[in-house]
Amino acid sequence: MRIPRIYHPEPLTPGQDVALSDDAANHVGRVLRMSTGQALQLFDGSNQVFDAEIIQSDKKQVAVRVLKSETDNRESPLHLHRGQVMSRGEKMEFTIQKSIELGVNVITPLYSERCGVKLDAERMNKKIQQWQKITIAACEQCGRNQVPEIRPAMDLALWCKEDEVNTLKLNLHPRASKSINTLPHPVERIRLLIGPEGGLSADEIAMTAQYHFTDILLGPRVLRTETTALTAITALQVRFGDLG
């Protein structure tokens, strides 16, 4: 049986006894039905993994003893910041989950002219919390020991205006003349813009050029926004990261 991997939001040290978070305790105690003496593997976002043993398990909480630790770097050499104009329903959740598995480091949800998601501040905050939980679960599943950041939602223009040092800015465009395979080496940091289901408006495309985004083409077919995101991330990791 595979030893379950559980995220703990506070720093861990060998020899320490800790109570798991409510979400983790529910998963370990109620879903997996694990009991005292069974083994877990914890990670706290520090790029380390911690062997642990359950010392208490009941309906209210699960406590573990941290036994030992080791560094386990699963991060790509390519730092990817994905700006995603928000899509409806489960599409956004799906692409967040798969982006984390593919090595994305930061995700910023974006509003644009054709964005189909309209939420007030309270509901948006709940969405961000839910997306961060999906991110943690994806890390638990895929073996990453650093937890990527889900940033607060922001306007597309403000995101494009942000400056990241030594970062290549890319915008996927069906009429672009360049492809990912033509981008020059080396590239260590990329800011990747994924537009809405209806595409960016002409004014928005012009605005991305103003902020020095490079238009790139994925191929001759028009892809859905969720397919576009995952295809582009995979291609970038093959060319500049650790896939392939």
**Cα distance between residue 64 and residue 62, in whole Å:** 7
Nearest CA among 102, 59, 110 for reference residue 78: 102
User: What was the pLDDT predicted at 112?
Assistant: 95
pLDDT of 174 over the 80 cut:
no
- Residue 1 is predicted with a pLDDT of 62
* Single-letter code of the amino acid located at 95: T
In this predicted structure, the answer to whether residue 45 has a pLDDT above a threshold of 70 is: yes
Averaged pLDDT score across all residues of the chain: 93
pLDDT of residue 117: 84
Please, which pLDDT band fits residue 190 given cuts at 50, 70 and 90?
very high
What's the mean pLDDT in 85-100? 92
pLDDT of residue 72: 95
Cα separation, 53 vs 23, whole angstroms: 18
Nearest to 61 by CA among 20, 100, 15, 3: 20
- The tens digit of pLDDT for each residue in 24-33 reads 999 999 899 9
Report the predicted TM-score, pTM, of the whole model to 2 decimal places: 0.93
Counting residues of the chain whose pLDDT is more than 90, the rounded percentage is 81
Check residue 127 and give its pLDDT: 94
Helices (H), 154-241: 156-161, 202-210, 225-240
pLDDT band of residue 146 (cuts 50, 70, 90) is: very high
pLDDT score, position 241: 96
